[in-house]
Amino acid sequence: MSATSTLEKAQLSPADLKQMLDRGESFTLLDVRNEEEFRRWQVEGRHSVTVLNIPYYQFLEAPEEAVARVPRDWPVVAICAKGGSSAWVVQEILRPRGYQAVNLEGGMEAWGKFYQPRVLPEALPAFRIWQLERPARGCLHYVVAYGPQYRRAIVIDPPRHLDAVLQLAQEHSLSITHIFDTHAHADHISGGVALAKLTGAPYYLHPYDAIHPLDVLPATIPYEMTKDGQVFTLDQDRLHVIHIPGHTLGNTALYLEGNGKRFLFSGDSIFLYSIARPDLGGRGETWAPLHYRSLFHRLLVLPDDTLVLPGHFSQPKEARSDGLYAEVLAELKRRNPDLKQRSEAEFVQYMLSSLPEFPKQYIEIKRINIGLVQPSQEYADELEFGKNVCALADAYRK
Amino acid sequence: MSGEQKQVNRELDVRGAKCPMPIVRARQEVQRMAVGEVLRVVATDPGSVNDFKGWVQTAKNVELVKQEETIDANGQRLYIHYLRRIA
């Protein structure tokens, strides 16, 4: 058997890895990137996983010492930045020494572009809602199919990698009728404008988010304006726009009602165990009070049985047992520490003392999302390195 | 030409090569060099910056003199690593 075909058999796809992580299978995740890159961004699972960082050059310089650190009790999944070094460690070091080892094909680069769609069971039969999880970055995107046979669909917060959306659309013969960004994102590059161009569907954004908050420059992208109270009719059902300034000035949530069921696409406002931060526009102190009023006076007053579908998660263990990130408002009021009843002044003080670091690339990502900068694919990948930090700091504590 | 460039004894072009090849080939070159000689490695992989830093801490016979970033005539970003054999 040639080396190449053995290596091919040794490859694991990101979907395979996601399944192993979700099932809580026993394996060692051997990350062979340098310590700096490992520190900045790692694969995380819902259940506890043994993660080991031994840079590949340690296998090169002192193979026996490095190998001695890798447990023999479980299979090994090796991962690196692009899949080359981990393939080498699997092929040249681990397998010849009797390890059951597999390589993650494409490495962190492929993991970063992997999306897992899941149907939300409680939306049926009113809607067929898919939540698209981007596990590497903690982003959640939505496709909501409606109408007879669920043939029409809206897309909420589409990702840059449109294949994830287009594949669903093709498999289920969806015709995309509306595209929404709940806000101009800072942590990831939107696919909204590109998807609109491709499908002919209008792309909606709140106009306050069409001005870069730091550059104070207007968007150059084509978009339709959303406004507070606007209602979109989706066949028999209605989608309401709620303007909730705070995380951004043009931040919105989308509230969907149909067949007696209620869903809130909360974007970056309420997360399952946290809330969005108010400072990514550089005006945290000014925006925090707005954020308070939006959260407490606009969103928490919605019916208690409204199912909240957030734009992010901070840790994979926030998922339900079926893998979806969703919870009813009543339960969130009870368990989400950031939604605890506080006065406005207490809330503002609490938020401003709980801010994580401000990733400087977020300023640039926002420029891209309103058309002020056109990135190469390589540059876009570089900007999207690592997990989102859109929530308050507590969300990232393990 | 600067003094530093004059001190380069060997060149290694690993443009387009992905991990682990830049380190594998640099390691082979260093083994062929005399102690005190300097190798200039030209790479295109941005990951090479931290990889070379990490590798020299693991390898006992080489030190990283410096690292540079430039853009070539085609707009390609280059990561240049200067390595000295020390044992």
CB neighbour class for A7 (10 Å; exposed up to 12, middle 13-18, buried from 19): middle
Residues in chain A with CB shorter than 8 Å from the CB of B61 are: none
Question: What are phi and psi for residue A239, nearest 5 degrees?
Answer: -115, 120
**pLDDT value of position A396:** 76
Report which of A331, A343, A259 is spatially closest to residue A300, judged by C-alpha positions. A331
Dihedral sign of CA atoms B68, B42, B46, A31 in order: negative
- What residues of A are labeled active site? 80
**pLDDT value of position A5:** 34
Close Cβ partners of A363 (under 8 Å, ≥ 6 residues apart): A186, A214
Nearest to A37 among B21, B50, B58 (CB): B50
Q: Which pLDDT tens digit goes with each residue over A129-158?
A: 999 999 999 999 999 999 999 999 999 999
**Alpha helices per DSSP H over chain A:** 3-9, 14-23, 35-40, 56-61, 63-68, 84-88, 107-112, 163-171, 192-199, 284-293, 329-335, 344-352, 361-369, 377-383
Q: How near does any CA of chain B get to the CA of A59, in Å?
A: 10
**Is residue B27 less than 8 Å (CB to CB) from chain A?**
yes
**Is residue B53 less than 8 Å (CB to CB) from chain A?**
yes
Q: Which pLDDT tens digit goes with each residue over A323-363?
A: 999 999 999 999 999 999 999 999 999 999 999 999 999 99
Q: Which pLDDT tens digit goes with each residue over A205-218?
A: 999 999 999 999 99
Nearest to A58 among B21, B24, B58 (CB): B58
**Is residue A156 less than 8 Å (CB to CB) from chain B?**
no
Residues in chain A with CB shorter than 8 Å from the CB of B19 are: 56, 80-82, 84-85
Write the CATH number of the domain with boundaries A115-396.
3.60.15.10
Write the CATH number of the domain with boundaries A3-111.
3.40.250.10
**pLDDT value of position A147:** 96
Residues in chain A with CB shorter than 8 Å from the CB of B46 are: 382
Report which of B51, B20, B18, B30 is spatially closest to residue A89, judged by C-alpha positions. B20
Q: Determine which one of B19, B24, B78, B86 is catalytic.
A: B19
Bridge partners (DSSP) listed for residue A391: A276
Report which of A207, A228, A226, A227 is spatially closest to residue A218, judged by C-alpha positions. A207
Distances (CA, A) of A68 to A65, A159, A357, A380: 5, 41, 37, 38
Res. A2: pLDDT tops 50: no
**Total domains in the fold of chain B:** 1
Report which of A323, A306, A372 is spatially closest to residue A121, judged by C-alpha positions. A323
**pLDDT value of position A89:** 97
What mean pLDDT comes out for the span A260-284? 96
Residues in chain A with CB shorter than 8 Å from the CB of B60 are: 61
Residue ranges of chain A assigned to CATH 3.40.250.10 = 3-111
**Is residue A53 less than 8 Å (CB to CB) from chain B?**
no
- Could you say which residues from 58 to 77 on chain A have a Cβ atom under 8 Å away from some Cβ of chain B? 58, 60-62
**Is residue B86 less than 8 Å (CB to CB) from chain A?**
no
What mean pLDDT comes out for the span A25-43? 94
Residue ranges of chain A assigned to CATH 3.60.15.10 = 115-396
Distance CA B50, CA B56 (A): 10
CA-based Rg of chain A, rounded to a whole angstrom? 22
Q: Are the beta carbons of A298 and A244 closer than 8 angstroms?
A: yes
Nearest to A60 among B24, B47, B50 (CB): B24
- Catalytic status, residue B19: yes
Residues in chain B with CB shorter than 8 Å from the CB of A61 are: 27, 55, 58-60
ipTM of predicted assembly, 2 dp = 0.90
- A34 with B53: Cβ contact below 8 A: yes
**pLDDT value of position A394:** 80
Question: What are phi and psi for residue A79, nearest 5 degrees?
Answer: -140, 145
Determine the structural domain holding residue B45 and report its residue range. 3-85
CATH number at residue B81: 3.30.110.40
